[in-house]
Structure 1
Amino acid sequence: MLVVPGVHRVPGFTNSYLIESGDGTLVLVDCGFRGRVDKIVQHITALGHTLADVTDILLTHHHLDHTGGLPELSRRTDATVHAHAADAPVIRGQAPRPGADRSTWTGRLAGTRIPPPARPAHVHAELTDGQTLPPAGGIRVIHTPGHTMGHCSFLLERDGGLLLAGDAALHLGKRVVPPIPLALNENLRAVRDSFDRLGRLPFRVAAFGTGAPIAREDQPCWRATPD
């Protein structure tokens, strides 16, 4: 499903994205649940590519619905896997999941049980805020902590700008909102700050981990002039 020229959505409960770099290679953003691997492979094939064309896998964060398919996709593509330094140890299985923000009763109830853990997988490169990755003419890393403390969004600055928000924002119905339910967020104050930061970025279209892409002018909360 085409989002903007050269960027394709693999729709599902959690969206993944395929970015064409222009040199015959692909970047995969998020891997979905373990059972989504075949769907992602089908989309790669439909674009006229093979798994060998996937050179980079970018992870927005460590949750199971974004990393469940990572072990298999990493093995089958031999791609470089990127994640923020705060989430990388969790993805590798070297650190426990931090769990929900305990300032709310739902967070205290959820603890570290929600969401369930993913299988450990390799992370080869740790992302930092403001870093620009070379593929596809440049992909800017935007550290958007809160949902997890290592959550990252990605900004393609070509063609007016495409924001890949991950789960720092959700498109539900006709609204773009911060990530819910609250019990799945590690730091609620950071969630709100990151959501506001996204609205100040220069982009024409936003795409999400949950929900369909949307044009900036169609969303009142993000109509303000970006910084």
Structure 2
Amino acid sequence: MTVHLIPITFDQQGTRQTIVPVLLKDEHRLILVDCGYPGFLPLLEDAARERGLSLDDLTHVIVTHHDMDHMGALAELKRAYPSVEIIAHELDEPHIAGRQKSLRLEQAESLHERLPEERKPQAESFIAFLRSIEPASVDRIVADGEVLPWCGGLEIVHTPGHMPGHISIYVQSAGIMLAADAVVIEEDGKLGIANPEFTMDRRAAAASIERLSRYAIHQLICYHGGLYEGDAGAGLRELLRNERGESE
């Protein structure tokens, strides 16, 4: 089993940003965890090719939650590779499939009403972008604690807070935690809460950090920041202390 980080760097509103989807490969499967913004399929294909991989071999896509930078390219990816099986948590599936409105869109629309007039045009542009995200059908629904028997065992770890249906993935055979947006790596190299002002439930996010800290993590990989350089358990416990201190 091999784990391939495929960082994709891009410009967004004049700011250089990077996201880090992950490819997991064993003898029979190639699994992509999250797929970036709309239009990112060529970037994913190029990033895979640079690592000697081809999305022609892709068997599964695991979507950790339905934010636009995690599922934006999902529909185009499914069209290009129709045999790929899409996997998501049971709470997120209705939003990914488009049967329920995006929670991020609901949040943005609610916030828009409280903004000063000069900030509303930018917010309206963001709302329009969220409305343009194309849904995609989910082929397999997973629940907390389920272990997918691939790549040495992929444990589904429900880590709500950022969104209710957010999941992390623990690669059991290697002690690797794919944390998605449960935590991020800040510019100073420390762990932080992903977009704390947009986190749906801050208390749930803290509980998810505590849960992650109980795992034996050899490597911690964040969607924003990539591979954490340090003791993952210690870093998570420090973040938890800071987070609980701020909420008191």
Indicate the TM-score class for this superposition, using the shorter chain for normalisation: 0.7 to 0.9
Alpha-carbon distance in structure 2 between the residues aligned to 1:84 and 1:52 = 25
- Alignment partner, residue 231 of structure 2: 217
Q: 1:38 aligns with which of 38, 42, 60?
A: 42
Change (3 A) 1:172 1:108: farther
> Displacement of 1:133 after TM fit?
0.7
> Displacement of 1:220 after TM fit?
3.5
TM-score normalised to structure 2 length? 0.77
- Give the secondary structure class of the aligned counterpart of 1:90: helix
- Matched to 2:92, the amino acid is D
Q: 2:222 aligns with which of 196, 208, 214?
A: 208
TM-score normalised to structure 1 length? 0.84
Is 1:54 the counterpart of 2:58? The answer is yes
State how many pairs are aligned. 215
Query: Where do 1:160-179 residues align within 5 Å?
Result: 161-173=175-187, 174-179=189-194
Decide whether the 8 Å contact of 1:217 with 1:223 is kept in 2. Answer: no
Query: Where do 1:110-125 residues align within 5 Å?
Result: 113=127, 116-117=130-131, 118-125=133-140
- Give the secondary structure class of the aligned counterpart of 1:201: coil
Change (3 A) 1:114 1:75: closer
- Matched to 2:74, the amino acid is L
Decide whether the 8 Å contact of 1:163 with 1:203 is kept in 2. Answer: yes
- Matched to 2:22, the amino acid is Y
> Displacement of 1:216 after TM fit?
4.7
- Matched to 1:152, the amino acid is I
Alpha-carbon distance in structure 1 between the residues aligned to 2:202 and 2:128 = 15
Q: 1:134 aligns with which of 140, 149, 167?
A: 149
- Give the secondary structure class of the aligned counterpart of 1:81: strand
Change (3 A) 1:74 1:101: closer
Give unmatched runs, 5+ long, in structure 2: 9-17, 116-122, 239-248
Is 1:188 the counterpart of 2:202? The answer is yes
- Give the secondary structure class of the aligned counterpart of 2:94: helix
- Alignment partner, residue 67 of structure 1: 71
- Matched to 1:205, the amino acid is Q
Alpha-carbon distance in structure 2 between the residues aligned to 1:131 and 1:68 = 25
Alpha-carbon distance in structure 2 between the residues aligned to 1:121 and 1:10 = 22
Decide whether the 8 Å contact of 1:99 with 1:113 is kept in 2. Answer: no
Which stretch of structure 1 is more off in the superposition, 188-197 or 210-219?
210-219
Cα deviations across residues 157-200 of structure 1 (Å, max 9, x unaligned)?
A: 123x0000000000112110122242x22222111111121111
Alpha-carbon distance in structure 1 between the residues aligned to 2:193 and 2:128 = 18
Decide whether the 8 Å contact of 2:183 with 2:222 is kept in 1. Answer: yes
- Give the secondary structure class of the aligned counterpart of 1:194: helix
Decide whether the 8 Å contact of 2:183 with 2:209 is kept in 1. Answer: yes
Decide whether the 8 Å contact of 1:27 with 1:56 is kept in 2. Answer: yes
- Give the secondary structure class of the aligned counterpart of 2:64: coil
Query: Where do 1:97-108 residues align within 5 Å?
Result: 97-99=102-104
- Matched to 1:54, the amino acid is L
Q: 2:100 aligns with which of 95, 101, 106?
A: 95
Give unmatched runs, 5+ long, in structure 1: none
Identity of aligned residues (%): 29
CA RMSD, Structure 1 to Structure 2 (Å): 2.7
- Alignment partner, residue 27 of structure 1: 31
Alpha-carbon distance in structure 2 between the residues aligned to 1:153 and 1:108 = 33
